[in-house]
Amino acid sequence: MSSATSVYQRRRSVAKHELSMIPWLALLTPEERVRIEPQLVVSDPMPGDYVCRVGRPVTFWFGVIEGLLKMSADSASGRTITFTGVPPGGWFGEGTAIKREPYRYNIMALRRSVVAGLPIDTFHWLLDHSIGFNRFVMNQLNERLAQFIEAREIDRSNDPDVRVARNLAALFNPTLFPGVGEILRITQQELAYLVGLSRQRVNVALNRLQEEGSIRIEYGGMRVLNLTALRESGTLD
């Protein structure tokens, strides 16, 4: 259930331990960090809270410190298309931030999360002054393009097992989501929201993937044992 106060109203300064979870900070010079860190804010969206909504102006560039978000949009027919989940370490919306255009997608929290925001003007200052930051953003844009192409391929698949496997693989991306590690902390219901299937059907698919040796289901998440097999699920030899 979403909170009565908005995500923006609940913003606060970033705690010291949260700064260590922002991957691009390590790429800045000491002088750049002194300038940037005080401008970062965080908030704590609850399940169902929107961090971004279609048509709203961009004011921050966002990243996930803790939790799980869903990026989606509605098609012309009214069908919701889920592009990806955003786990810890993931920063998103750099294309929108660069162009300063309204959002073309929704970002919603699937569980209680901690989300950091960098003001849009500060984002552009870093683009103008920081080589390390520019490299990070360029890598993000390249990976994001490949991710969206993959998402459209997954969306066209009629095989539920393939959709589950390849959605899981997409969340294990060290460039886009460096905070995930070896275990993805996600429930079967949350994965069902991302894939667009029932929790029961996701459970069937996960058990098949476990039997094949691709994953191991653990308490509160999934451990990937064969990432290549997940990524190639449904492809022809």
Q: Residue ranges of the alpha helices (H) in the chain?
A: 16-19, 30-36, 94-99, 120-129, 131-156, 160-171, 188-195, 199-211, 227-231
Answer yes or no: are the C-beta atoms of 2 and 49 closer than 8 Å: yes
Q: Does residue 220 contact residue 204 with C-beta atoms inside 8 Å?
A: no
| Shared-domain flag, residues 149 and 164 | no
Indicate whether 217 and 102 sit together in one domain.
no
Residues facing 74 on adjacent strands? 80
Residues 215, 120 share a domain: no
Does residue 33 sit in the same domain as residue 127? yes
Q: Would 4 be classed as within a structural domain?
A: no
* Pair (96, 213) in one structural domain: no
pLDDT given at position 196: 86
CA 231/CA 154 separation, integer angstroms: 11
**Within a domain: residue 3?**
no
Which residues span the domain enclosing 220? 157-231
178 exposed, middle or buried (CB, 10 Å; 0-12, 13-18, 19+)? middle
At 12-69, the pLDDT tens digits run 999 999 999 999 999 999 999 999 999 999 999 999 999 999 999 999 999 999 999 9
pTM of the model: 0.85
Residue 237 lies in a domain: no
Q: Which residues of 147-172 are buried (b: 16+ CB within 10 A; e: fewer)?
A: beebbeebeeeeebbbbbbbbbbbbb
Task: Write the pLDDT tens digit of every residue in 90-125.
Answer: 999 999 999 999 999 999 999 999 999 999 999 999
The answer to whether residues 143 and 161 belong to one domain is no
Same-domain check for residues 163 and 200: yes
Closest CA to 169 of 159, 201, 180, 136: 180
Q: What is the CATH number of the domain that holds 149?
A: 2.60.120.10
- pLDDT tens, position by position, 128-164: 999 999 999 999 998 888 877 776 776 666 789 998 9
Asked whether residue 144 falls in the same domain as residue 168, the answer is no
Q: Is the domain of 145 the same as that of 193?
A: no
Q: How many domains does the chain have?
A: 2
The verdict on residue 2 lying in a domain is: no
Q: List the structure tokens of 97.
A: 């931030």
Give the burial class of 41: count Cβ atoms within 10 A of its Cβ; 0-12 exposed, 13-18 middle, 19 or more buried.
middle
- One domain for residues 49 and 162: no
Q: What is the CATH number of the domain that holds 165?
A: 1.10.10.10
| 49 and 89 housed in the same domain | yes
Residue 7 lies in a domain: no
